[in-house]
Structures are given as C-alpha cells and as structure tokens.
Structure 1
Amino acid sequence: MSLPFAYSHVDLRVSDRANAMAFYDDILGLLGLHRGETKPEHEWISYSRHDGTEQWFAFTQAAKVKPGDGRVAFAAPSREVVDQVAALLPRLGARNVEGPEEAYGPDYYAVFFEDPDGNKLEVCCID
C-alpha cells in the first residue's frame, strides 16, 4: 500500500552531505522515497516517490547547522515498516531513539529519533 504524504516538502540543513545521504537513503527507501539525481555541483539532495507528485524531502549542506524544534513525521504503510526503520537506526548513527512504541493511543505506532545533525524525525503508522 502506498500512502500519500501529507506535506508539500521538507528542507533540512545538514553538516555533511555524504553522511546525510548514507543516513536517509535506507530509511526513505523503505518508505518509497528515492533519491534524485546527485551531482557534485548540486547544493541540495532531494527524495521523492518519482510518481509525478510535487511532494519531496530534501537537505542542503550548510556551514552552521542548528536543528529546529519541530519534527518531520513520515507515514509508514505498516507497523512492520516502522520496525524495519527502527532496526536500521543504530547502524545509521541515529540519536535519542524512542520506540518503536504505541504513542498517543493504541492506533498510533511510531519510532522517534534524531538524525546525526540533531534534526527530529519520526516514522509512524496510524491504523
């Protein structure tokens, strides 16, 4: 089952482009997002479903990175995918991992974590 994303785009700043690609490629791949063409002269890296939708996730390398107080939540098609993402997180260097767990009620299953730059993220399945 392919779920639509409920956002237009997300654009984060990261301290190291190569490390960010290594971190996000596996997680976003499990969620059906694929990295676009990557060229050394491009400042930003974007991921999308490659299905013609205008929704995307991107990051840009920046000299000074200050993670925001917000969180980006990605919709997973099942609890199993949430578990698969959670299993990847230690290997990818995620920080402050919480879950996977039922949060906000029995129909909401999620893993909460930060990427290596401290950006707050979540992968959730809402039954």
Structure 2
Amino acid sequence: MNKFSHIDLRVNDLAIALPFYEKLLPELGFTRTFHSSNWRVFAADGELPSAAYFAITEDREHKPNANLIGFWASDQAEVDRIAEIVVQNGGTINDGPRLFPISPTYYAVYFEDPCGNKYEMLHRLN
C-alpha cells in the first residue's frame, strides 16, 4: 500500500506560482480542485479524505531550499512533455531531460517552480 497522503507547499508569491501549478498538477494526476481562501488544493482520483492531494499556500517569507519532490513518469516521452509544460508556464529547468548515471535507464528532468521549489520527473526501468 502506498502511504503517500499529501504535500503542503509554501510559495512566496501565489499570484506568480498558481498559473504554473494550474497547468502542471493536472498533468501529474491532480485533477480535482478544492480551494479555500488560504489554500489551493489539487486532488488525485480516489475517495476523500484518503485521496492524495497537493495543497499550496502563500507565505511571503518562504525561502526555497534543497528539498526535492519527485514524480514518476510512465515513459521518457512523459518526462519530455512535463519539461515542456514547465518551460511554457514560467518554471526553470535545472538539468535534463536526459539519461542520468544513476542507472542505465534513469531518464529525468530537474526543475523549479517560479518561486524556486524543486522537483524531479523521472522514468526508469530498474
């Protein structure tokens, strides 16, 4: 059983970050929204409250750090497609998409949202 529940993410400028996440998160399977005045919540399929979700709130004092959130891709083409979405919506590619020497099939892109939060989209066979 996958024990993943949710991510509570802080961004230092919601007005800049939200359009990025409105394009990216549905592509990652977070297709339902449950927004409130302080949180923008994107949920995956499944029964609430156990469905995985990605929640975003603004904290003007937030400083991005070296934490990294990783997502699986079904194939290399999905990694490439996510990289395009990142660039088209104000994110920054830090490395890739390409094969990395982690394993012979480790294909990934490392990127940041417009506020500097770090992510990885990866596909690998072993």
Normalised by the shorter chain, which TM-score bucket?
0.7 to 0.9
2:44 to 49, 57, 72: 49
- Give the TM-score normalised by the residue count of structure 1: 0.82
Instruction: State the distance in 2 between where 1:116 and 1:102 align.
Output: 25
Percentage of matched positions with identical amino acids: 34
Partner residue, 2:117: 119
Partner residue, 1:80: 77
- Give the TM-score normalised by the residue count of structure 2: 0.83
Instruction: State the distance in 1 between where 2:73 and 2:22 align.
Output: 15
Deviation at 1:96?
4.4
Name stretches of at least 5 consecutive residues in structure 1 with no aligned partner.
none
Q: 1:91 to 1:6 in 2, by over 3 A?
A: farther
Secondary structure of 2:69's counterpart equals strand
CA RMSD of aligned residues (A): 2.1
Instruction: State the distance in 2 between where 1:106 and 1:113 align.
Output: 21
Q: Work out whether residues 46 and 59 of structure 1, in 8 Å CA contact, stay in contact via their aligned partners in 2.
A: yes
Q: Counterpart of 1:123 in structure 2: which amino acid?
A: M
Name stretches of at least 5 consecutive residues in structure 2 with no aligned partner.
none
